[in-house]
Structure 1
Amino acid sequence: MPRIDREAAPATAVAAAPAALALLAGRPRTAAVLALLPAAVAAFFRDPDRTPDSRTVPVDDVLSPADGKVMYAGGGQDGVAPAGEWQQVSIFLSAFDVHINRAPYGGRVVEVVERPGKWLAAYKHESAHLNERSDITVERVVGDEVRRVHFRQIVGLMARRVVTRVSVGDELATGERVGLMKFGSRMDVFVPPECDLLVREGQRVVAGETVIARWTRPVRVGA
């Protein structure tokens, strides 16, 4: 049985209130049915182990940071991608997916920016720059190259809070846990042109396991 993240405690307590009230009112059958609600909420916060939660992932591989379905894979979208040349993979998480997020690429955290915003449906294009979100950038030195990967936690229509558990200066391993998003959301990953994208739209991906991109060319000077 997977562990349950600590963020589950307050949400599960609230969800358990109707069952408790029904039990106090002398309605045990109703209470038994209502008890399914806190169980479902707790299941949302499940935190399963994933195989490459270590520093043994090939240095050229970029892993999925979230469970879900690829909704876009291609060049960086205008108004979505950071400034510069990027390739983009956007992943939609339904309420039934595991919502623990993982670092797509290991390295030193050089930027963490949390931005307030709206709660538009995460599959909408404008959600990437209008919704509440957290942007994280990691850098990694490989030989004489400095590689940079940018990834973004974005809340959705149901998700109302991003939990980011990394800070500038942290050293992350590829696939390491970095936080979570509550109740259905989206994650974007941005990699430079020197990477080949290995996923397609509509494909299911698994956080910390599915390889979504791979470095195939050296980083250009000044990139």
Structure 2
Amino acid sequence: MNMFGTFIKPMHPEGTKFVAIFATVTLGLFLLSPILGWMGVGLTIWCYYFFRDPKRVSPTRPGLIVSPADGVVSLIEPAVPPSELGMADAPLTRVSVFMNVFNCHVNRSPIAGEITSVAYRPGKFFNASLDKASADNERNSLCLRLPDGREMAVVQIAGLVARRIVCFVKAGAQMQTGERFGLIRFGSRLDVYLPRDVEPLVSIGQTMVAGETVLAALTDNDPVWGPETTNG
């Protein structure tokens, strides 16, 4: 990879209008004050960086579940998947990945499978790092059926400053590991409800890379961990 590709990442199309708005406001700020104008330049660059969509390379070993989001593991606990998905009401292991405003916010499928249900539910906008965010915040939930028939859930949760959850897929979509399925604007969280009898291979505080870091494995083979840092 050349030096340009190391620091300049492609931008997701969802960010185009936001960067355009930031740039337009920046031009107006320069008319008022050079200092304000340069502050606008910094915010415009940040907006572009927020919507970056770097290439990711997912592990190829069958049965690996990867992180659906960049960020830090904030919670690992048993919890019942969102009721709107119609899954069994037995608790599953929930792994929460918190994304701050500097993380890449493109969300990726944790494993190959079929999307059997997509359900949006409006809600509040508590800090996404809080436990109650899973139950109270605005969210978009996906149920993913694996080839062996087991189910898992991935939930996009809006945060304190996030006001727009975007999902690109519908029920019936066939997903591949690491394939993009959505994004959340400006700080948020992803909850992963692992299939029954599957234990996480990550710890609270661990840095995750969407589509690359191994979160869990469906088999009892030796665990394989993905990278904990990225240029994305």
TM bracket (short chain): 0.7 to 0.9
Q: Distance in 2 between matches of 1:123 and 1:36?
A: 26
1:137 to 2:140 alignment: no
Residues 70-110 of structure 1 deviation map (CA, whole Å, 9 limit, x = unaligned): 01123226989962231110111111111000001111110
1:184 to 2:191 alignment: no
State the Cα distance separating 1:186 from its structure 2 match. Answer: 0.6
Segments of 5+ residues of structure 2 without an aligned counterpart are 1-7, 221-232
The residue aligned with 1:115 is: 121
2:52 to 46, 62, 67: 46
Secondary structure (helix, strand or coil) at the match of 2:46 reads: helix
Secondary structure (helix, strand or coil) at the match of 1:37 reads: helix
Paired residue total:
210
CA contact (8 A) 2:108 2:210 kept: yes
Name the structure with the higher strand share.
1
1:88 to 78, 84, 94: 94
Matches within 5 A, 1:50-69: 50-52=56-58, 57-69=60-72
Q: Distance in 2 between matches of 1:147 and 1:173?
A: 16
Identical positions, percent: 34
Against the structure 1 CA distance between its residues 77 and 113, is the aligned structure 2 distance closer, same or farther, given a 3 Å change threshold?
Answer: closer
CA contact (8 A) 2:114 2:175 kept: yes
Matches within 5 A, 1:1-223: 1-24=8-31, 27-28=33-34, 30-52=36-58, 57-76=60-79, 83-141=89-147, 145-216=148-219
The runs of at least 4 aligned residues of structure 1 exceeding 3 Å deviation read 22-25, 27-30, 77-82
Residues 158-180 of structure 1 deviation map (CA, whole Å, 9 limit, x = unaligned): 11110000101110001100110
State the TM-score, normalized to the length of structure 1.
Answer: 0.86
Secondary structure (helix, strand or coil) at the match of 1:47 reads: coil
CA contact (8 A) 1:73 1:88 kept: yes
Against the structure 1 CA distance between its residues 200 and 77, is the aligned structure 2 distance closer, same or farther, given a 3 Å change threshold?
Answer: farther
Against the structure 1 CA distance between its residues 65 and 20, is the aligned structure 2 distance closer, same or farther, given a 3 Å change threshold?
Answer: same
Q: Distance in 2 between matches of 1:87 and 1:122?
A: 18
Q: Distance in 2 between matches of 1:140 and 1:30?
A: 52
For 2:107, the aligned partner's letter is N
